[in-house]
């Protein structure tokens, strides 16, 4: 087997703009089928030269040629279709957040384990090489002992024009923490290599939609390191993090959406304790790296670098953030 045959459940924009092109540009993957219950499967298949189009997700899962599926459905539908895909013997790459409770992710991961298929949550940003370099710089002592990490992911969403957007639908898992704050929380855990012991989050709940449209939080770790994050739909596009230590700071100005730039070429900045700056540039499409990695794991039998256990811990932290937001008080993990 030289390539993995993929099926796409849904014609969602993220699939058309990012995942299908990534799969088609990958050396070890190919898009063999797409399914939609909206009647758009055939048009999308023609647009991207996909061989097969199905009018139901079940029909795609019944296709014996399909080895893996990508699931970009609304958050509340992930558990159902991850479970059904696994029981049909399909490996699963599921869009973030994998589910809205850690218990659901545990059940999804167990079904995948029982059916001997791989399962990974699609936090694509982490596959961009700039983040591996940040971790290396920290391990090398480039900024001394880490004391704080700050992150932000915001973009402007016109609530009136986008009233039907699933990001604003509480019943479908909408809200800024679930949508973009999850990246901040994920990157904090990933870069620091530790789990927070306490979270405290403040935010704004929209009167009409009932979801958080803006939030900011503090994550505290047992080793004394702190982290802060902000996320929301009320400010211009911003996706960054910076790590401050006793001897300097590392800034990553385009942390979560480097694919916005041609060739996904971005730079990180390293500032020492004397104020001297230098930068390093990195290039790579995180979507392509992600699908190539997952396809390689399928062919080789290796486990993905991002495990279900990591997904569970991320969801637990997000749940604690929402608990803190609702209670207006810190929450211990």
Q: What's the pLDDT score for residue 237?
A: 97
Mean pLDDT to the nearest integer, 65-88: 98
Q: For residue 230, with 0-12 CB atoms within 10 Å meaning exposed, 13-18 middle and 19 or more buried, which class applies? A: buried
CA dist list (Å): 282 to 126, 164, 208, 266 = 13, 37, 42, 6
Q: Which of 122, 138, 163 is the last residue of a domain?
A: 122
Q: Is 293 among the domain residues?
A: no
Together in a domain, 198 and 137: yes
Together in a domain, 168 and 253: yes
pLDDT for 114-156, tens place per residue? 999 999 999 999 999 999 999 999 999 999 999 999 999 999 9
Calpha distance 22→292 (Å, rounded): 9
Q: Is 137 among the domain residues?
A: yes
Q: Vertex 120, ends 117 and 122: CA angle to 5°?
A: 145
The pLDDT of residue 264 is above 80: no
For the chain, what is the mean pLDDT?
A: 97
Q: Is 306 among the domain residues?
A: no
Together in a domain, 280 and 328: yes
Q: What's the pLDDT score for residue 96?
A: 97
The pLDDT of residue 54 is above 90: yes
Q: Is 275 among the domain residues?
A: yes
Together in a domain, 37 and 110: yes
The pLDDT of residue 274 is above 70: yes
Q: Which of 92, 122, 152 is the last residue of a domain?
A: 122
Together in a domain, 143 and 219: yes
Q: What's the pLDDT score for residue 272?
A: 96
Q: What are the backbone dihedrals phi and psi of residue 87, each rounded to the nearest 5 degrees, phi first? A: -70, -20
| Exposure string over 8-44, b if 16+ CB within 10 A, otherwise e | bbbbbeebbebbbbbbbebebbbbbbbbbeeebbbeb
Q: Report pTM.
A: 0.97
Domain carrying residue 76: 4-122
Q: What's the pLDDT score for residue 263?
A: 73
The pLDDT of residue 285 is above 80: yes
262 vs 259, residue with greater confidence: 259
Q: Is 80 among the domain residues?
A: yes
The pLDDT of residue 297 is above 70: yes
CB 282 within 8 A of CB 133: yes
Q: What's the pLDDT score for residue 19?
A: 97
pLDDT for 305-333, tens place per residue? 999 999 999 999 999 999 999 999 999 99
Q: What's the pLDDT score for residue 260?
A: 83
Q: Is 226 among the domain residues?
A: yes
The pLDDT of residue 200 is above 90: yes
The pLDDT of residue 1 is above 70: no
Residue carrying the six token digits 């909206």: 38
Identify the CATH number of the domain in which residue 54 sits.
3.40.50.720
Query: What is the number of domains present in the chain?
Result: 2
pLDDT for 98-110, tens place per residue? 999 999 999 999 9
């Amino acid at each position: 087997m030289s390539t993995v045959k993929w099926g796409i459940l849904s014609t969602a924009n993220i699939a058309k703009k990012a995942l299908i092109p990534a799969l088609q540009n990958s050396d070890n993957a190919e898009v063999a089928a797409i399914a939609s219950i909206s009647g758009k499967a055939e048009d999308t298949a023609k647009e991207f030269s996909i061989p097969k189009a199905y009018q139901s997700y079940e029909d795609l899962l019944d296709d014996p040629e399909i080895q893996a599926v990508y699931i970009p459905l609304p958050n509340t539908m992930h558990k159902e279709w991850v479970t059904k895909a696994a029981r049909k013997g399909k490996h699963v790459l599921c869009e973030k957040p994998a589910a809205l409770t850690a218990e659901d992710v545990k059940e999804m991961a167990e079904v995948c384990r029982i059916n001997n298929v791989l399962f990974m949550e699609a936090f694509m940003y982490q596959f961009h090489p700039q983040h591996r370099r940040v971790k290396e710089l920290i391990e090398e002592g480039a900024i001394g002992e880490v004391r704080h990490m700050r992150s932000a992911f915001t973009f402007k969403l016109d609530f009136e024009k986008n009233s039907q957007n699933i990001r604003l639908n509480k019943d479908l898992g909408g809200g800024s923490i679930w949508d973009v704050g999850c990246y901040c929380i994920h990157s904090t855990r990933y870069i620091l290599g530790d789990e927070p012991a306490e979270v405290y989050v403040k935010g704004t709940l929209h009167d009409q939609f009932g979801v958080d449209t803006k939030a900011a939080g503090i994550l505290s770790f047992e080793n004394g390191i702190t982290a802060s994050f902000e996320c929301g739909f009320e400010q211009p596009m911003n996706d960054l993090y910076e790590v401050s230590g006793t001897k300097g700071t590392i800034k990553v100005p385009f942390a979560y959406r480097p694919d916005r730039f041609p060739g996904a070429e971005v730079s990180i900045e390293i500032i020492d304790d004397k104020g001297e700056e230098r930068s390093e540039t990195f290039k790579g499409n995180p979507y392509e790296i992600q699908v190539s990695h997952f396809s390689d794991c399928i062919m080789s039998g290796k486990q993905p670098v991002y495990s279900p256990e990591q997904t569970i811990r991320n969801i637990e932290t997000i749940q604690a953030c929402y608990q803190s937001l609702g209670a207006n008080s810190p929450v211990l993990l």
